[in-house]
Structure 1
Amino acid sequence: MTDRAAVHAWCDFLRARIAEEQRAAEGAASAPDGTGVPVWMLTEAGEPELGVRAGDDVLLTVRTGRGTWADLVVAEHLVRFQPRRAYADLTAWVNLVDLLDHWVNFDLAVANELLTVVLLFADRYRDHPDYPGPGQR
């Protein structure tokens, strides 16, 4: 049987992690001038890794092992599509966490089913210092 307090702790933890990722995706997906066009550019050719830069920050590096031209194609694809897709995925994730947080108050059987799914997603945060331990389920 699921402990309601533990489920609420998981929901709070995940909302905080999702919000962090949403801020990063929002920053990548829109320009500060409000045009909605990403202000990303690729790092200079010849650097050890081809990367995507926003201002002075390198947001990601791309190493495909297929040479500079292939790396450029992959990096441009990431610049154009990934931030918006990541934000949409995170929005769906928030909805799932909200469902879990709602159902734990009304139907523990439903909450247990949702918790199983949510914990699969939460596994990527297992190294975070605030990660609720396995005993929190």
Structure 2
Amino acid sequence: MSDLSLPDFLRARFEEEKVAAVATRDAGGEGAAGWVHDEENGALDFGLPNRTLYSTPIGTFAAELEHAARYDPDRILREVNAKLRIVEMCDATERAHRNSTAGDLARTVLDQLAAPYRSHPDYPGTAAR
């Protein structure tokens, strides 16, 4: 368990996701478009000529390729930025309205945002309020 507050823990996890997304996006080079599942060719298209992450016989692993295409780095960056705004709003609300319905709701939202990271060694748990 860590000494981090739950909002600080979430900020750190989201920063890690931003760094990974930027590195992946930048590896595509200038002019890279968003990731697209190219069903016609059975590939995950990075938006660059002659560059695919994974190519399969048409129809094979279509669901997996569609899922992977949803992790386009630009989309991940938008998602992380939205989550960071939620953390900021909830952190401010919880501090301003402790022991109230609004503060409790803000804490519940933070707890739910942290749920995917419960196995992380720095997870502060419910004790870090």
The TM-score with structure 2 as length reference comes to 0.65
How large is the Cα RMSD of the aligned pairs? 2.9
CA distance in structure 2 between the aligned counterparts of 1:20 and 1:134, rounded to whole angstroms:
22
CA distance in structure 1 between the aligned counterparts of 2:68 and 2:27, rounded to whole angstroms:
13
Aligned residues: 109
Match of 2:113 in 1: 121
**Unpaired stretches in structure 1, ≥5 consecutive residues:** 1-5, 46-67
Distance 1:72 1:26, change over 3 A: farther
Match of 1:98 in 2: 88
Cα offset, 1:75, TM superposition: 5.4
The TM-score with structure 1 as length reference comes to 0.62
Of 31, 35, 42, the residue aligned with 2:31 is 35
* Higher mean displacement: 124-133 or 71-80: 71-80
* Higher mean displacement: 24-33 or 121-130: 24-33
Q: Larger % of helix: which? A: 1
Identity %: 26
Cα offset, 1:96, TM superposition: 0.6
CA distance in structure 2 between the aligned counterparts of 1:16 and 1:132, rounded to whole angstroms:
12
Q: Which amino acid aligns with 2:21?
A: A
